[in-house]
A and B are shown apart, each in its own frame.
Chain A
Amino acid sequence: MPQINKTPNEYQKMVKNAHPSDSKVKNFISAYVIGGLICVVGEIITNILTAQGLALNEAGPLMSVSMIFIGGLLTGIGVYDEIAQYAGAGTIVPITGFANAIVSPAMEYKQDGYILGLGAKMYSVAGPVLTYGMLSAFIVGIIKLIFI
């Protein structure tokens, strides 16, 4: 009986060669530039707020809220994921990425009802961030308490 006799390892090599070449340098630059631009926007907002007379520790949170709003808005109008196709990590890492990670499932799961759909599944993407973020903070807190 004729067979395609290839081991998974041999086939993996073929698969790697068949993939279109993806320039890591290009991806790095895109992520850096767009991620950086998002942070620049944040900085501009902070500067505007401090110029209005706000102290830095008040302007900071307000800036974060504004950036979350921008991330949510761009997600809602369907633009954020288009930017992400170029930016990669540049749109995931900043706080706008977190907003996108909460708003996008909220939009999607509204179809399944407000409680078990939207309410429950809203955290399907960002859940790990919350879980492990809190866990890390807890561990660091314990370490600080014991050692410092």
Chain B
Amino acid sequence: MMNKVVGNQTIKFERKPKIISSAAIVGPKEGEGPLGEYFDKALQDSYYQEQTWEKAERKMTQENIDLLLQKANLSPDKIDYLIGGDLLNQTVTSNFAARKFAVPYFGIYGACSTMVEGMILGAILIDGGYGYRTINFTSSHYQGAERQYRTPNEYGDKYPSYKQWTATGTGATLLAKDGQGPVVTEATVGKVIDLGVKDPKDMGSAMAPAAADTILQHLNDTGRTPQDYDLIVTGDLGEVGSKLLKELLAEKNINLQDCHDDCGKILYNSDQDVGAGGSGCACAAVVTAAYLLPYLNNGEFKRIFVVATGALLSPLTSLQGESIPSIAHGIVIENESPNNAIGNFSYEE
């Protein structure tokens, strides 16, 4: 059914799945940030009364899915697929969270692009008639990620100013064939792009080419310009990556100046000491779930293009001298009618 593909790599959804619910729980730092009041919950500390950070991340992720279902007034048996991923080895956070719900589960890995990768897959399953409702979720945890990817948290390693801060949080969205809410209209699945950046503290620079490639392909496929969107928002390029993105696209005559923002920049205040900005799967996830979707919901945005970016390295690849291949997945979410607001969450919440 090739008529669902536009151009080279963009999918156009025939059935336009609706995002009928979303939920986000964040850590203390994110709760103190500029979006604090938008999140469903902010944890008081990074352990969340658990013995380890990894257990805390799992607890928060499970709780968030429960919250999502509660907000949609649905029980788990009404969900056809769970799609989840995270940063920890073997995506254990997502596996263990999915264990609680007796729902068929796809575990995926897209690093910090997981949120959008999950939404695309959920939308494809619904659009293809393989399911009626899907939940996609993802999470990350600052201390858990530092411990796995870098050095112990209390180690006195001076971070360069371009390093980013892995967000603690979890976001989830519920897509359905029918219902009220913003709709998923198109998706551009990313290719793995690697322009040779080797420094694992410089994720923004590593991922910018992937974001540029996906945006370029998408605009070429759809025949649109950046101005056709209220916002093109990348996942976690941060200050440095965003700058590089704009430069790369400017060379292709694509001007992102007034319609680009980045979840890694939105999530924190400038005095929160996060280097070049936030990163981690939670970054794109919580900003999309708690901030961007309500904006679409109440009609402030009509169409946005969310491009979540992921750095596909492991702690070992850096040690072995490899560069950082990256990927960016993009999804177009629209508000088709100003009256199409989701009943049970409001902009003020």
Contact B159 A85 (CB under 8 A): yes
Contact B154 A80 (CB under 8 A): yes
Contact A107 B152 (CB under 8 A): yes
Q: Which of B10-67 contact A (CB under 8 A)?
A: 51-54
For the complex, what is the distance from the CA of A101 to the CA of B248, rounded to whole Å?
40
Q: List 28 A-B contacts (CB under 8 A).
A: A4-B195, A4-B212, A4-B213, A6-B195, A6-B248, A14-B244, A18-B247, A19-B160, A19-B161, A20-B161, A22-B161, A76-B154, A80-B156, A81-B156, A83-B156, A86-B158, A91-B156, A92-B156, A100-B155, A100-B156, A101-B156, A107-B152, A107-B153, A108-B152, A108-B153, A108-B154, A111-B54, A125-B152
In the bound complex, residues from chain B placing their C-beta under 8 Å from that of A109 are 152
Nearest opposing residue in chain A for B211, CB measure: A4
Nearest opposing residue in chain B for A85, CB measure: B158
* Chain B residues touching A, majority SS: loop
In the bound complex, residues from chain B placing their C-beta under 8 Å from that of A14 are 244, 247-248
Nearest opposing residue in chain A for B194, CB measure: A8
In the bound complex, residues from chain A placing their C-beta under 8 Å from that of B147 are 108
Which interface class (under 10, 10 to 19, 20 to 34, 35 or more) fits B?
A: 35 or more
Q: Mark A67-108, 1 if CB is under 8 A from B, else 0.
A: 000000001101011011111100110000100110111011
In the bound complex, residues from chain B placing their C-beta under 8 Å from that of A1 are 8, 217
Assuming the contacts A14-B247, A18-B244, A111-B52, asked whether A84 and B156 have C-beta atoms less than 8 A apart, the reply is yes
Contact A18 B243 (CB under 8 A): yes
> Is A11 on the interface with B (CB-CB < 8 A)?
yes
Nearest opposing residue in chain A for B273, CB measure: A85
> Is B346 on the interface with A (CB-CB < 8 A)?
no
Contact A84 B157 (CB under 8 A): yes
Task: Identify the B interface with A (CB < 8 A).
Answer: 8, 51-54, 147, 151-162, 193, 195-197, 202, 205, 209, 212-213, 216-217, 220, 239-240, 243-244, 247-248, 252, 276, 323
Contact A124 B152 (CB under 8 A): yes
Task: Identify the A interface with B (CB < 8 A).
Answer: 1-4, 6, 8-9, 11-12, 14-15, 18-20, 22, 75-76, 78, 80-81, 83-88, 91-92, 97, 100-101, 103-105, 107-109, 111, 124-125
In the bound complex, residues from chain A placing their C-beta under 8 Å from that of B217 are 1-2
Assuming the contacts A4-B213, A22-B160, asked whether A81 and B153 have C-beta atoms less than 8 A apart, the reply is yes
Contact B51 A11 (CB under 8 A): no
* 15 additional A-B residue pairs with CB within 8 Å, beyond A6-B195, A78-B154, A104-B156: A1-B8, A4-B252, A8-B323, A15-B244, A19-B161, A81-B156, A84-B158, A100-B155, A100-B156, A101-B155, A104-B152, A105-B152, A105-B155, A107-B154, A108-B147
Contact A125 B158 (CB under 8 A): no
For the complex, what is the distance from the CA of A91 to the CA of B157, rounded to whole Å?
9
In the bound complex, residues from chain B placing their C-beta under 8 Å from that of A11 are 195-197, 209
Least Cβ–Cβ distance between B46 and chain A, in angstroms:
12
Least Cβ–Cβ distance between B160 and chain A, in angstroms:
7
